Chain A
């Protein structure tokens, strides 16, 4: 009896420790969201979301930053999404599974772990300097696109891998060509998963600061970027400036909170959409 009781006590304590760990993580998450939600909500108003900053950015709104983030994310998507999905289709459907392809796949997956500032360095030398785009939405978007590319390739590949080979074999057995097989038996089932992973990658790109620091983000612009060669304001950079470099950081702290709130809502909104889509898909496929 004694040993059994001891086992029970140890288990109870053990599971309690695990629960404590979970509680700690949830507590931190809720602390973050609550703090930003409460202190940021005060700054949110129609003016905040639709107007430009005024009076040395101590008043007014952050619309140019919202617009800039949106614009640069679109450019990121144009580069990373089609190229990433197509590359994944090649690697998973067409390429022979040799050691070389495995090595390539491994390398691509690990490139998504490379620090974002290193992509920023690359963006400066290639897009800003060598290709001459200067500091602009284009340079920043291309830099973010490159950073997101390994992610979209990997996520698309994962989605393609979940399609059982029997789907492909069935079509081929009926005489379909390779492309027909992919188009009718693989893509329709994989594309939703590919898109989910891609949207998650774009959400991450929208929230990144380091790659755009030196490739095009600006502190204060009186007008929206009218062309791809212009600089732009962006939400993550705006938050960074408001929190550290602004001339009256204590005074504008509420505005910084507001910016953080808008950024979080945007990024988490994209994340949630992707997660919900994936959840619905999984249920449908069962």
Chain B
């Protein structure tokens, strides 16, 4: 008898609790951006205490799925939406609107013991497709290429696949890590390693490139000038070939706390945080214009 009453009471409490749920702005998505968005959220909440914002990671794919399934308010992505995903969104009555909140120079990193200084974008693609298996092919380094990358839920994974691998399959020998930081850890320990990470992850707490890592210069053509992703001018001008905008997307026109938060991010205070975290600011050009249009 007691047990029945207990169960009934518990069930009632559960239902009551469900109905009185509090709402937070939920942001899901890119691991590349998660640190940045978390710090943005912390600073914003510091200035506006009554506005709860929850930041969940999971990868760009998770964010996009979240927006489509309406389990989050904002999706952060380090890549464009695929046409298939936009179709799925429309099928479910969701109209994604993208805001550029930062710019990233996708960085190719190797272990500091690796003598390679520069690679063409085609060579990087060949390595990740599994066509170049040894560093001997591009230098005197006698080690096999040890590939580190992300998993398919990562926007960085998809971006690399589209822009560097030419939309071909990755080598199945690539070690698929859970996040940027694990890639860095792997490259630091493994002499034959090559990895790709967002530019904000290159730096340690003092603002210098992490000891033990080497950032490879990338050139468009063999024999051309190679640029590093830490070079803002090269990223802005397009000389650095694998730069990309980082997005935060909402379902339709952003409202309420989400809108205010996004406005703050693309404003001077938010952009200062972006710069501090090692990414590039949105600037005054086409990204800003697109953002302004989407806020309306």
Contact = CB atoms under 8 A, between A and B. Distances in A.
Would A and B touch once assembled, by the CB under 8 A criterion? yes
Interface of A: 54-57, 75, 78, 82, 86, 133-135, 138, 218-223, 226-231, 241, 244-251
Contacts of B130: none
Contacts of A229: 17-18, 21
| Chain A interface SS verdict (over half) | loop
A56 B181 contact: no
B105 to A, nearest CB: 17
B178 A226 contact: no
Contacts of A55: 39, 42
Given A229-B21, A248-B181, 13 more contacts: A82-B3, A138-B18, A219-B58, A220-B55, A221-B54, A222-B24, A222-B52, A222-B53, A223-B24, A226-B22, A230-B24, A245-B179, A248-B205
Nearest to A142: B14
A57 B17 CA distance: 29
A86 to B, nearest CB: 7
A244 B179 contact: yes
Contacts of A250: 181, 185
A78 B11 CA distance: 9
Contacts of A248: 35, 181, 205
A227 B181 contact: no
Contact of A226 (B21, B34, B177, B180): B21
A54 B41 CA distance: 11
A86 B6 CA distance: 13
B17 A227 contact: yes
Interface in B63-91: 71
A134 B177 CA distance: 27
B38 interface: yes
The 3 A-B pairs at the shortest CB distance, nearest first, are namely A247-B35, A229-B21, A245-B179
B138 interface: no
Residue of A223, A230, A247, A251 with most partner-chain B CB within 10 A: A247
Given A223-B52, A248-B181, A228 B35 contact: no
B178 A231 contact: no
Nearest to B33: A247
Nearest to A226: B22
Given A219-B57, A222-B52, A228-B17, A54 B10 contact: no
Interface string B23-42: 01010000100110011011
Given A86-B3, A222-B41, A230 B185 contact: no
Given A220-B56, A245-B179, A78 B18 contact: no
Contacts of B180: 247
Contacts of A134: 71
B182 A227 contact: no
